[in-house]
Structure 1
Amino acid sequence: MDHVTGSGIRPKWGLAEAFGKLRSKAEKLILKKGYFLVLVGFLLGRALILAKLAPFSLPFFAAVYFIKMERAPLALFGLVAGAVTISVGHAASTFAMVFLFLAVYRPTRKWVGNQARAIPYYIGGLLFAGRIAERFIQAETLSVYDLVMAGIEGILAFVLSLIFMQSVPLVTANKRKQPLKTEEIVSLIILLASIMTGTIGWIVYGLSIEHVMSRYLVLLFSLIAGAAVGSTVGVVTGLIFSLANVSSFSHMSLLAFSGVLGGLLKEGKKAGVSLGLLVATLLIGMYGETGISLESTMLETSAAILLFFLTPTSLTARIAKYIPGTPEHTAEQQKYMRKMRDVTAKRVAQFSNVFEALSKSFSHHEDDLGEEEKELDFFLSNVAEKTCQTCFKKEHCWTRNFTTTYGYMEEIMLQMDQSKATIPPKLAREWEKLCSRPKKVTEAIHQELAVYQANQKLKKQVKESRRLVADQLLGVSEVMGDFAKEIQRERENLHKQEEQIMEAIQDFGLQIEHVEIYSLEPGNVDIDMAIPYCNGHGECEKLIAPMLSDILGETIIVNSEECGAFPHSTCQATFRSAKTFIVETGVAYAAKGGGLVSGDSFSTMELGSGKYAVAISDGMGNGERAQVESRETLKLLQQILQSGIEEKVAIKSVNSVLALRTTDEIFSTLDLAVIDLQNASAKFLKIGSTPSFIKRGRKVMKIQANNLPMGIVQDFDVDVVSEQLKAGDLLIMMSDGVFEGPKHVGNYEMWMKRKINELETEDPQEVADLIMEEVIRSRSNKIEDDMTVAVAKIKHNTPKWASIPVHGIKKKQA
């Protein structure tokens, strides 16, 4: 509700906003201004060990002086103020130690290489020497006891210096980006416990402040980080208190026990953690030897719980972000990873846009018709300059009859361009009637035409090269765009499904140690499992994969499996979606004259997008050079295809490389078939290659396309032939040595179809061997060219094991 005043309506401030402003002001005053160091220094100035030793003050001042020198006076003020509450002599001793440290450290630090490592030695040595001097001044004698106590205090100061150098930045920094390391967490706990020792002896309404604050600290860390950190806080805090006051030694068991119980009950939030402290207090108070009445202990526990419930959730959430293993820390890390992922995806998308813009700039060209008219005008002006400039009929032809003269000269040029320097007799007679120097003009046109044709050829090559580069840049742009989208696809939170799958399989009687799901996308399932040693019984293939098939509603197979090397070890298995179709291949090849080196090369490759490719390349000629060309062609093609670039662009890119790589006339043919394993559709791209054949039952179909061999021209149109294959089809691809190999055959196509139709076997390797054998026999067992036959059989992917019904789990919906 709004507050109504005389001046109008004023909105009421929200409670959360008010608390937020109050918190920000408090943080600014306490942390940024450094007044928090006064409070910490006051409590550490009061802190004692065994009621005699004071090793906290000097390490704390040195840490603040080294980390934030401008805040050192505030820390010194707090230390001296706290020491005064013990005694004036103790305050004077504290101030003297700080003055001694500054007097020794400041002049000598320029000779110290690593000051952070040197400070603990300064502190330990100075405190040891200072305490000995103090004892000697007071008693004028030194006993062994005095030396031992001074040594202990020096050692404690050395250790505390190391701890405070790590923990002081944690409480003085306003914002921190990195999570806490284990040693930093322990150092922070020791610092907090050391600070709380300054409250020893403080009693409010019969309640010990040290007990209340220590239990509150255990509650806080148990809620944030669980039993491990909670028990550590309890043990460390209790140990520090027991060193400060021997009567507090039994209190350590209560803090450690409450840390364990509270951490185990952290799922119950604040109420669960508080219950753990109450149970621990009752058990230790009833059966322990604390020397304190149960009523007093319960009141102190109740005060700690009350303070714990008053602690805002935002504070615990902020602290939890910096402690590894907490959900808040995990969420913060995921937020950081999402940010990095988005930045990376944005940069990749920007590069994609750059390549797309470059592609458009290369593909942009001026109006071809206007360009041709300009070139024609320039051509005829050169001819007229050489022939008509000195002619007496120049004004008559080019001023009075410009259109007629221009038209005839254009016609003569076109006729010469088409018929190689000759023009029709009729046109020659008409031109002789019109022009007084007909022969000279035609000769000039003939001479200029050679230069004109060379320029046109060069411009065409440049234009083709630009178009090829534009296609390649566009292909790279598309691949990078797809990659950017893939980066932005956030991994789904599939913990629930992982637990369901593990529970279902374990209920079946199989022990599964770990399940990790990467994808449940239909047709692209990816699951990793860790299972106990199976001794080679094949549980993954025979049991787990069939159960996953029933759970996920699609056929799942074992993609890879690493069995344990010894009993009681762990086996790792990866499960993936099975493809609808599989391809079995068989290849037969022979070199010319029965040699060892064939100019043909073949390749079968699985592409990452669920496709399977079969390719044959025939290098020009025979021998090692032809083999190098064909092998390099297939190797380059495979690398480009597996990068995700579309098939036509990949082939054009390979052709461009082959055409520009050498000036020698080295050409290669390419016969490529790309089969989609989900629906068995196939694309055939044939570059200078022979026809392929598909055998479907008793029917044989030919696949053919007309393209020049690769490397002849830098640009050509790739004809793509698409065909829908079926299960049981045989795809037969061959080089020209096989297709044109039969002797005394008039029609190679009919002969090959007949031989394929007569085959009784459907085994790919046997089909390849039989075709090769038939061709060689027709040549009287002579191999007169390199020959390669590749046969691929399309089959339904039938799993070896049927799916196993799994009950008690919700099936994945399609």
Structure 2
Amino acid sequence: MELVTKMKQTFSPKPKRESKDRLNIYTISQLFNQLVNFQQLVKSLRSFIGKGQLIRVDVVLDCIGLAIDNMMQSMMYDRHDFELQFNRIKEELERINVRCSDIKIKSLYPRLIKMDLVINSPPKELTLLSIQAILEGITNEPLRLIVEKTKGKQTKIKIYSSNQFKIDHAVSYVGKDGNKVSGDSYIYENFTNGQTFIAISDGMGNGELAHKESSEALKILKCLLSFNIPIKTAIQTLQQLKQHSNANERFFSLDVCMIDRERQRATFYKKGATPTFFIRDHQIELINLAQLPVGVMSDQDVDHVTLDLQEDDILIMCSDGIVEQYPDITDLEHMILGQVGIPPKHMAKNILQTTVSKHKGKIRDDMMVLVVEYKRQGVSQAQYAS
């Protein structure tokens, strides 16, 4: 009943407030996106736990309840924030004599701002800059404005987060003995909160079973994070799920990097994972955390390391199949430094091929290399469309 009441409060129409009706449409569209994520979460949970495995029902229900609670909190917040910002934008623009015939707020998520304005007379450059200053003051972040279309006395302006930074990434991998199926899995996902989720998981052993275990674990993490659940809570939930369904005592590593592009920082979480190679100015720093793999303990703390990022920083994440081929890790570091300066796609491929060639092409374990480069977008803050 509580869930039904919350949904009624969130999506009930307000006939006297046209802006609320319109904004509820955007809120509902966000709900459908979350429902798709919820469907994927349930599907991945079923596959991850497996048929006939012993697991406490309360652990699964806690996971599902956590997702639902965060989904509803997000919906309630979005509805309030959309309406508040809609009225504030309209009032602030009217204060500088800019009359809007239409305001469409598509996203107010930090660093993922997306709005359309239709104003009643084409703005001069000074007016456009004034509009930008007002909107940046409301959203508290730099924005990019594009005058897309002018028809008669109306002008359409598209507003986006400036997104000054981007991430280029590439992955190369091979299964043991050259098999196409690898026990190593990876995931790369951009979330609506402006963060990028990058992770590698190495399943115990090789082949189909190891791949299924590691890939479903990453899918569950992705789904939980899509509901704005804190990363530490998501990892702890995954640990509990594995611990209480681990009849065969199987484990897997977890190597996670969360990047906040505009705040220019990266946070690392590791569970039985190899070091991450952090490269800046042709110098390597190893990011390492001594943590047991997922499945060993359900109540293990989740430690992390956070680093500030600069333009052209490079992160390299590897499975143990790569690192263990170098008894002296400095040899791997020197080889990696020799690849700096080429695109991530070629860098990942060269690191993998060089490692395989160390043993005359014999591949003793699953191998995976994930290369991430932090770059500046280089777009102007305000511009006219051609």
TM-score normalised by L of structure 2: 0.69
CA deviation vs aligned residue, 1:101-131 (integer Å, no higher than 9, x gap):
xxxxxxxxxxxxxxxxxxxxxxxxxxxxxxx
1:498 Cα deviation after fit: 6.8
1:487 Cα deviation after fit: 4.0
1:469 Cα deviation after fit: 9.5
1:651 Cα deviation after fit: 0.6
1:471 Cα deviation after fit: 10
C-alpha contact (below 8 Å) 2:273/2:320 kept by paired residues: yes
Q: Does 1:528 align with 2:214?
A: no
One-letter amino acid of the counterpart of residue 285, structure 2: M
CA distance in structure 2 between the partners assigned to 1:575 and 1:502 by the alignment: 19
C-alpha contact (below 8 Å) 2:246/2:295 kept by paired residues: no
Aligned match of 1:648 in 219, 232, 241? 232
C-alpha contact (below 8 Å) 2:110/2:193 kept by paired residues: no
CA distance in structure 2 between the partners assigned to 1:729 and 1:334 by the alignment: 44
Q: Secondary structure at the match of 1:661?
A: coil
C-alpha contact (below 8 Å) 1:728/1:793 kept by paired residues: yes
Task: Mark the CA change 1:722 to 1:618 in structure 2 (over 3 Å): closer, same or farther.
Answer: same
CA distance in structure 2 between the partners assigned to 1:519 and 1:499 by the alignment: 22
Larger Rg over CA atoms: 1
CA distance in structure 2 between the partners assigned to 1:546 and 1:735 by the alignment: 49
CA distance in structure 1 between the partners assigned to 2:229 and 2:109 by the alignment: 23
C-alpha contact (below 8 Å) 1:669/1:709 kept by paired residues: yes
CA deviation vs aligned residue, 1:429-450 (integer Å, no higher than 9, x gap):
xxxxxxxxxxxxxxxxxxxxxx
Q: Does 1:330 align with 2:50?
A: no
**Across the two proteins, how many residue pairs are aligned to each other?**
316
One-letter amino acid of the counterpart of residue 766, structure 1: H
1:583 Cα deviation after fit: 1.0
Aligned match of 1:623 in 195, 200, 207? 207
One-letter amino acid of the counterpart of residue 210, structure 2: A
Tell me what 1:667 maps to: 251
Aligned match of 2:269 in 675, 685, 698? 685
1:578 Cα deviation after fit: 2.4
1:797 Cα deviation after fit: 2.9
Tell me what 2:353 maps to: 773
Tell me what 1:784 maps to: 364
Task: Mark the CA change 1:605 to 1:711 in structure 2 (over 3 Å): closer, same or farther.
Answer: same
1:517 Cα deviation after fit: 4.3
Aligned match of 1:658 in 242, 251, 269? 242
Q: Does 1:610 align with 2:194?
A: yes
CA distance in structure 2 between the partners assigned to 1:647 and 1:477 by the alignment: 16
1:719 Cα deviation after fit: 1.5
1:660 Cα deviation after fit: 2.1
Structural RMSD (CA): 4.1
Q: Secondary structure at the match of 1:672?
A: strand
Task: Mark the CA change 1:639 to 1:772 in structure 2 (over 3 Å): closer, same or farther.
Answer: same
CA distance in structure 2 between the partners assigned to 1:477 and 1:723 by the alignment: 31
CA distance in structure 2 between the partners assigned to 1:547 and 1:775 by the alignment: 56
Tell me what 1:42 maps to: none
CA distance in structure 2 between the partners assigned to 1:664 and 1:796 by the alignment: 47
C-alpha contact (below 8 Å) 2:203/2:253 kept by paired residues: yes
One-letter amino acid of the counterpart of residue 651, structure 1: I
TM-score normalised by L of structure 1: 0.35
Task: Mark the CA change 1:485 to 1:775 in structure 2 (over 3 Å): closer, same or farther.
Answer: same
Task: Mark the CA change 1:502 to 1:657 in structure 2 (over 3 Å): closer, same or farther.
Answer: farther
Task: Mark the CA change 1:796 to 1:547 in structure 2 (over 3 Å): closer, same or farther.
Answer: farther
CA distance in structure 2 between the partners assigned to 1:602 and 1:698 by the alignment: 26
Task: Mark the CA change 1:474 to 1:629 in structure 2 (over 3 Å): closer, same or farther.
Answer: closer
1:601 Cα deviation after fit: 0.7
Tell me what 2:303 maps to: 719
CA deviation vs aligned residue, 1:685-710 (integer Å, no higher than 9, x gap):
10111110111012100000011111
CA distance in structure 2 between the partners assigned to 1:595 and 1:522 by the alignment: 42
C-alpha contact (below 8 Å) 1:517/1:528 kept by paired residues: yes
Paired-residue identity, %:
30
1:725 Cα deviation after fit: 1.8
Tell me what 2:179 maps to: 595
Question: Which residues of 2 match residues 118-137 of structure 1 at below 5 A?
Answer: none
Task: Mark the CA change 1:700 to 1:468 in structure 2 (over 3 Å): closer, same or farther.
Answer: farther
One-letter amino acid of the counterpart of residue 626, structure 1: A
Task: Mark the CA change 1:467 to 1:796 in structure 2 (over 3 Å): closer, same or farther.
Answer: same
Task: Mark the CA change 1:556 to 1:694 in structure 2 (over 3 Å): closer, same or farther.
Answer: same
1:329 Cα deviation after fit: 6.4
One-letter amino acid of the counterpart of residue 352, structure 2: M
CA distance in structure 1 between the partners assigned to 2:170 and 2:97 by the alignment: 41
CA deviation vs aligned residue, 1:644-703 (integer Å, no higher than 9, x gap):
111111011112222223411221111000011121211111011111011101210000
One-letter amino acid of the counterpart of residue 168, structure 2: E
CA distance in structure 2 between the partners assigned to 1:521 and 1:666 by the alignment: 39
CA deviation vs aligned residue, 1:127-157 (integer Å, no higher than 9, x gap):
xxxxxxxxxxxxxxxxxxxxxxxxxxxxxxx
One-letter amino acid of the counterpart of residue 775, structure 1: T
Q: Secondary structure at the match of 1:648?
A: helix
More helix by share: 1
Question: Which residues of 2 match residues 297-316 of structure 1 at below 5 A?
Answer: none
Task: Mark the CA change 1:802 to 1:648 in structure 2 (over 3 Å): closer, same or farther.
Answer: closer
Q: Secondary structure at the match of 2:244?
A: helix
CA distance in structure 2 between the partners assigned to 1:683 and 1:469 by the alignment: 29
1:631 Cα deviation after fit: 0.7
CA distance in structure 2 between the partners assigned to 1:596 and 1:501 by the alignment: 62
C-alpha contact (below 8 Å) 2:318/2:369 kept by paired residues: yes
Q: Does 1:736 align with 2:320?
A: yes
CA distance in structure 2 between the partners assigned to 1:755 and 1:770 by the alignment: 10
1:639 Cα deviation after fit: 0.2
Q: Does 1:555 align with 2:143?
A: yes
CA distance in structure 1 between the partners assigned to 2:371 and 2:18 by the alignment: 55
CA distance in structure 1 between the partners assigned to 2:368 and 2:362 by the alignment: 15
C-alpha contact (below 8 Å) 1:693/1:703 kept by paired residues: yes
CA distance in structure 1 between the partners assigned to 2:351 and 2:18 by the alignment: 64
Q: Secondary structure at the match of 1:668?
A: coil
One-letter amino acid of the counterpart of residue 255, structure 2: D
Tell me what 1:639 maps to: 223
One-letter amino acid of the counterpart of residue 759, structure 1: Q
Task: Mark the CA change 1:470 to 1:500 in structure 2 (over 3 Å): closer, same or farther.
Answer: same
Query: Highest relative contact order (Cα 8 Å, sep 6+), 1 or 2?
Result: 2
Task: Mark the CA change 1:692 to 1:501 in structure 2 (over 3 Å): closer, same or farther.
Answer: farther
Deviates more, 1:708-717 or 1:476-485: 476-485
Question: Which residues of 2 match residues 410-449 of structure 1 at below 5 A?
Answer: none
CA deviation vs aligned residue, 1:416-475 (integer Å, no higher than 9, x gap):
xxxxxxxxxxxxxxxxxxxxxxxxxxxxxxxxxxxxxxxxxxxxxxxxx99999999789
Tell me what 2:104 maps to: 516
CA distance in structure 2 between the partners assigned to 1:627 and 1:522 by the alignment: 35
Task: Mark the CA change 1:616 to 1:522 in structure 2 (over 3 Å): closer, same or farther.
Answer: closer
One-letter amino acid of the counterpart of residue 354, structure 2: E
CA distance in structure 1 between the partners assigned to 2:306 and 2:241 by the alignment: 26
Question: Which residues of 2 match residues 284-433 of structure 1 at below 5 A?
Answer: 330-331=16-17
The gaps in structure 2 that reach 5 residues or longer are 1-13, 28-56, 120-127, 137-141, 150-155
One-letter amino acid of the counterpart of residue 116, structure 2: D
Tell me what 1:583 maps to: 167
Task: Mark the CA change 1:496 to 1:697 in structure 2 (over 3 Å): closer, same or farther.
Answer: same
Task: Mark the CA change 1:475 to 1:683 in structure 2 (over 3 Å): closer, same or farther.
Answer: farther
One-letter amino acid of the counterpart of residue 676, structure 1: D
1:585 Cα deviation after fit: 0.6
C-alpha contact (below 8 Å) 1:587/1:789 kept by paired residues: yes
The gaps in structure 1 that reach 5 residues or longer are 1-327, 342-464, 505-511, 532-544, 564-571, 806-814
One-letter amino acid of the counterpart of residue 694, structure 1: F
Tell me what 1:752 maps to: 332
One-letter amino acid of the counterpart of residue 803, structure 1: A
One-letter amino acid of the counterpart of residue 788, structure 1: M
